[in-house]
Amino acid sequence: MKQIYRVALAGNPNCGKTTVFNLLTGARQHIGNYSGVTVERKTGRCRIEDIELEIIDLPGIYSLSSLSPEEKIAFDEILNNNIDLILNIIDAGNPQRNLYLTTQLAELNIPMLMVFNMIDDAERNGLVFDFSKIESFFGTQVITTVGTTGKGIQELKNKIFELVKYPHVSEPCRLKYGESADSAIADLSEKIDKLGLALTKRLPPRYFAIKMLENDETICSISELESLRTEILPIQERLTQRHGISAETFMADRRYGFISGVCREAIHISNERRRQFSDNIDKVMTNRWLGIPVFLIIMYLVFQFTFIVAEPMMGWIETFFGLVSWSIEEVWPTDTMPLLRAMVSEGIIGGVGGVLVFLPNILLLFLAIAFLEGTGYMSRAAFVMDGFMRIFGLHGKSFIPMLLGFGCTVPAVMATRTIESERDRLTTIMVLPLMSCGARLPIYALIIPAFFVNQYRALIMLIIYLIGIIMAMLGAMLLKSTLFKGEDEVFVLELPPYRMPTLRSIIIHMGERCLLYLKKAGTLILAASVIMFLINTFPAKTEFSVDYNAEIAKVEQTPGISSEIKSTRIAELETGRRKESLEYSLAGRIGRSMNVVMAPLGFDWRINSALVGAFAAKELFVSQLGILYAVSDADEESSPLRMHLVSNYSPLQAFTIMLFCLLSIPCIATVAVVLRETRSWLLTIGQMIGLIVLAYLVSLIVYQGGLFFNIGTEMVNVINGA
Amino acid sequence: MAIAEIISASGHAHTKDIAERLKVKMPSVTNALQALSARGLIRYQSHSPVVLTALGAEIAAVILRRHNALKSFFTEILKLNSDEAEDAACKIEHVIGEKVMSRIVTLREAIAERGDCVALREYLDGTMPQICADSKIAREDLIPLSELAIGHTAVVIKVGENLRGVRKFADLGLVNGTVVTMEGFAPLGNLMRVRVMGSSLSIRSNDAAHIKVKITQ
């Protein structure tokens, strides 16, 4: 059997780890989740010469402690899996902070290679390295790379090959913790070694000793080490007395001391010009007064961008599906299996196609989010918005999942894993579905252009999103003052320097999301479309109030009217028939039975049945409406569905519909992920009920209020032109 | 103890002298004297000087001896000046027991007199006064990190023990001796950002208040 070597990439957040990972593995990546938790686990394959490597991209961490979920995961991965080589990626522009992790990795006695990434940036900023000295300090070799251009990657591969093929344990790191501490560590290591644990076969006892003295949660909770717990206290006390700092921070203090020594000897700064550009941008971006307005403008531009750029692309896709549907109907004779024919051309192509039309919107939104993430603006947004979030009992870190929530609620719920406080995390999850996700975008994208003139579209969109945000905030405030009461926890966030994200990383990210969306369209939405088609068709109505066939025949035979009028009349009759059979169908019945409750919101049975579809996936709302309004003479040039909507609803109704879709129950996928993340049926069901009640009340107030003040009850003619 | 000192100086003690010496109000002195009188340590009548009883004199002598022993430990071994030693001795003598006290006395005598402690004495002579001077500067110049003016640079001198998540901050480089630069505050709320080791960290001002820094420029 051929052996696969395991290589782990470890490094601080924002050190360009993922870029190196992408360069090493190319497209051969596998994204999954760490078991038990949902921090993303990325692995990829890489071949160098005749050896096969599995590359593991550990989450970005500052330290090998267990103070955050990421750190715990990285540590578990190293502890439990045989790692053949650690690639320690270091942002060469910021060695002091980055080498802190190195000091800890070096204590693991696992073969290691230091990769000074972004070396071009560092050199431009006047840093001069003496790598041979650094190598001797840490006992490992050094490679320099430039992730954005791929420079040094070949050398990196060669070095990996060499180190994996001919492994030798690196020389010990020269870090010492001082005489008294070192002897205590040596004593303790010996005792740990005597226990003969399986753990210490992989990692040196000294490492466990150090971590125990640091009060590391994970290590201290290892039951085999329980017996040594009592021996640690006196040692810690002695260290505290001797050095005047608590044992917890003693090691950190020593490590940084060692690093500053390394930096003094091996790194020279020729001119102090660091991050000048980035700092200047930040003077505006995170300014006390300008920060929030700038943030709002950026969000506005993102929405404007997703709308304007997507519009023509959506036209192409629409045309494409129209063509597919048309050619199927041409090729497939009407009388062979008419039901299946209808299901394929109306149900499947109508449903899936109706959803895929919005692929450009989703892609562009993810593009914008990926770009903002790549530049480093996301953490600024968290910084800027923290004060605002705190009014509602949340903090800046909840803000990043919420921003992701604009893309899709499912990854956003997963992203809450970075919030250390369980109370804050649950609060964030509970209100996350209120952040308008990408799947709701098709609904707005359908309705807004139909009812509102060009210059107001982005504004209406922003208002919808803002209502969601405000509701989320109020909900969070309520939850934090009742269910999840408690003190806030430590908050530390790094604001990385601004960087231009590489096109490659954005495209990879976009590609991932695109695939996920297509997968969803191909599975969940396809299945739901078929189900929706079936409940739209059955039970089939045989007896109509009017004999439509006869009526149509009558119109056709009436002499003395032009063919134009004839076809209009026929179309009217066809629509009437369709309407009757739809009302008779299961969907129609469900829709009508909901009427009693939903009528005060201005919804008719069509909207109601589309809302049922929206529970499966929000996008289905659009396709269900499409099916309900589908007409035989669909005109490909203008959007027929929009025309139907305009003739059936007032702008106020349209707005209320969007509002209800925004606030009401999350889709099945969200419910599932919320259940998995909260591990509580109570919270999951509570969230569903809460959201429905909220959606109903808000929609009711808006619709009835609108009716009362006579706002938007009639369509203005100018708007109709859209 | 104060009473004993005053008596040894002038033969007797007036309520007024005691109040002046202890920097307390007359009624408190009267109260305390009544309590001592009840325990049979002093003879006390209004408007006449306070006189120690035999028992009182004995206890006063013990207290005085303890005080002086501590004071000389602080002056001779820790090299504090007389005022500082007096101050520290007054605080400590009330809280330690006889056993601890006698061991401190033994330690002082050993260090001060034994021939094998010559090197130690020299070391203490050199080191102790410096520590003393440092702490004095520290007390005057230290400000909380949260009060550092924007654009100013400072060195972390002490990270408060009450700081939550102390190790987390330590992992990110906020340890003694680290240079930090204040970069500004977030809109609303209490977030601030500081430059630590070439990267920008955002932390809460109420956490930063526990980190004491000394301005470098």
Residue (of A421, A319, A434) closest to B168 by Cα position:
A421
Which residue of chain B has the CA closest to A291? B187
Q: Is residue B176 part of a domain?
A: yes
Does a structural domain hold residue B206? yes
Rounded Cα gap, residues A271 and A528, in angstroms: 63
pLDDT for A719 = 42
User: Does residue B47 sit in the same domain as residue B86?
Assistant: no
Residue B137 confidence (pLDDT) above 70: no
Residue of B nearest to A275 (CA): B198
- CB within 8 Å: A246 and B166: yes
Does B198 contact A490 at a Cβ distance shorter than 8 Å?
no
Which residues of chain B are within 8 Å of residue A388 when distances are taken between CB atoms? 187-189
Determine the residue among B134, B156, B200 to mutate to test chain A binding: the one whose Cβ has the most chain A Cβ atoms within 10 Å: B200
Quote the minimal CA–CA distance from A276 to chain B in Å.
11
* Yes or no, beta carbons of A288 and B184 under 8 Å apart: yes
pTM for the predicted model, two decimal places: 0.68
Q: Say how many CA atoms lie within 13 Å of A296 toward its Cβ.
A: 11
Predicted confidence (pLDDT) at residue B49 exceeds the cutoff of 50: yes
Residue of A nearest to B164 (CA): A490
- Record: contact B202-A497, CB cut-off 8 A: no
Given this model, what pLDDT does residue A354 score?
A: 67
| Cβ–Cβ contact B125 with A under 8 A | no
In the prediction, which pLDDT does A87 show? 92
* CB atoms B207 and A491 under 8 Å: yes
B209 with B150, same domain: the answer is yes
User: Which residues of chain B make contact with A94, given a CB cutoff of 8 A?
Assistant: 197-199
pLDDT of amino acid B131: 66
Residue of B171, B197, B212 best to disrupt the A interface, most CBs of A under 10 A: B171
Contact criterion met (CB below 8 Å) for A147 and A23: yes
Residues of chain A below pLDDT 50: 1, 35-38, 631-638, 717-722
Based on the fold, state whether residues B34 and B14 are members of the same structural domain.
yes
Tell me the HSE value of A391 on the side-chain side, using a 13 A CA sphere: 9
Q: B176 and A388 in contact by Cβ < 8 A?
A: no
Assigned domain for B188 exists: yes
**How many independent structural domains does chain B possess?**
3
CATH number of the structural domain spanning residue B150: 2.30.30.90
Please return the burial class of B12, using the count of CB atoms within 10 Å of its CB with bins 0-12, 13-18 and 19+.
middle
User: H or E stretch including B196?
Assistant: strand B191-196
Structure tokens at A608: 């109601």
Task: Inform me whether the C-beta atom of residue A236 falls under 8 Å from chain B C-beta atoms.
Answer: no
Structure tokens at A460: 């209406």
Q: With an 8 Å Cβ cutoff, is B37 touching chain A?
A: no
- Of the candidates A67, A260, A383, which has its C-beta nearest B167's C-beta? A67
Give the mean model confidence (pLDDT) for residues B11-28: 71
Q: Is residue B132 part of a domain?
A: no
Query: Min CA distance, A286 vs chain B (Å)?
Result: 7
Question: Side chain identity at A157, as an amino acid letter?
Answer: K
Distances (CA, A) of A184 to A229, A606, B7, B130: 14, 75, 54, 29
The answer, yes or no, to whether residue B105 has pLDDT greater than 60, is yes
A:B CB pairs within 8 Å: 135
pLDDT at A635: 37
- Domain-located, residue B199: yes
Q: Token digits for B21?
A: 């010496």
Which residue in A12, A418, A492, A498 has the most chain B C-beta atoms within 10 A of its own C-beta, making it the best mutation to test that interface? Answer: A492
Residue A142 confidence (pLDDT): 92
CA closest to B196 among chain A residues: A97
Give the tens place of pLDDT for each residue, A660-670: 988 887 777 78
Q: Is residue B125 part of a domain?
A: no
- In chain A, residues with a C-beta closer than 8 Å to the C-beta of B164 are 489-490
- Chain A residue with CA closest to B163: the answer is A490
pLDDT tens figures, B161-213: 777 778 888 888 888 888 898 988 888 878 899 988 878 888 888 888 888 88
Domain range enclosing B39: 2-52
Distance from CA of B37 to the nearest CA of A (A): 43
Contact between B170 and A252 under an 8 Å Cβ cutoff? The reply is yes
Residue in A with minimal Cα distance to B201 = A494
From chain A, pick out residues whose CB is under 8 angstroms from the CB of B171.
62-63, 65, 67, 100, 252
Retrieve residue A670's tokens: 């969200």
| Of residues A63, A274, A289, nearest to B198 (C-beta) | A274
Q: Does B198 touch chain A (CB under 8 A)?
A: yes
For residue A248, give the nearest of B166, B178, B188 by CB distance: B166
| Beta pairing, strands B191-196 & B199-204 | antiparallel
Delimit the domains of chain A by residue range. 4-165, 179-243, 541-584
CB contact under 8 A, B168 and A100: no
Residue B121 within any structural domain of the chain: no
Write down the CATH number for the domain with range A4-165.
3.40.50.300
Contacting A residues, span 395-434, partner chain B, CB-CB under 8 Å = 396
Query: Dihedral of CA B23/B29/B35/B36: which sign?
Result: positive
Clarify whether residues B26 and B74 are in a common domain.
no
Going through A457-569 in order, the beta strands assigned E by DSSP cover 492-495
Same domain, B158 and B192: yes
Question: To the nearest whole percent, how much of chain B has pLDDT over 70?
Answer: 86
**B65: in domain:** yes
Going by C-beta distance under 8 Å and a sequence separation of 6 or more, which residues neighbour residue B202? A379, A383, A386, A396, A491, A492, A493, A494, A495, B186, B191, B192, B193
Residue B186 touches partner A, C-beta closer than 8 Å: yes
Facing A492 at nearest CB: one of B169, B197, B198 = B169
C-beta atoms of B170 and A253 within 8 A = yes
Contact B198 A97 (CB under 8 A): yes
In chain B, which among 143-172 make CB contacts under 8 A with chain A? Answer: 159, 161, 164-172
With CB atoms and an 8 Å threshold, state whether B198 touches A96: yes
Residues from chain A that touch B200, judged by Cβ atoms under 8 A, are: 282, 494-497
Query: In the prediction, which pLDDT does A634 show?
Result: 39
Same domain, B205 and B172: yes
User: In CATH, what number is assigned to the domain containing residue B77?
Assistant: 1.10.60.10
Q: Does B177 touch chain A (CB under 8 A)?
A: yes
CATH number of the domain encompassing residue B26:
1.10.10.10
The answer to whether residues A103 and A262 touch, using CB atoms and an 8 Å cutoff, is no
Pairing mode of beta strands B179-185, B191-196: antiparallel
Q: Determine contact: B193 vs chain A, CB below 8 A.
A: yes
Of all residues in chain B, the percent with pLDDT exceeding 90 is: 0
Across A329-343, B48-62, B99-113, which has the greatest mean pLDDT?
B99-113
Does residue B65 share a domain with residue B7? no
Residue-wise DSSP of A218-280: HHHT-GGGGGGHHHHHHHHHHHHHHHSS-HHHHHHHHHHHHHHHHHHHHEEESS--TTHHHHH
Whether A361 and chain B come into contact, CB under 8 Å, resolves to: no
Task: Out of A260, A388, A492, name the one closest to residue B203 (CB).
Answer: A492
Instruction: State residue A155's pLDDT score.
Output: 92
Contact B167 A252 (CB under 8 A): yes
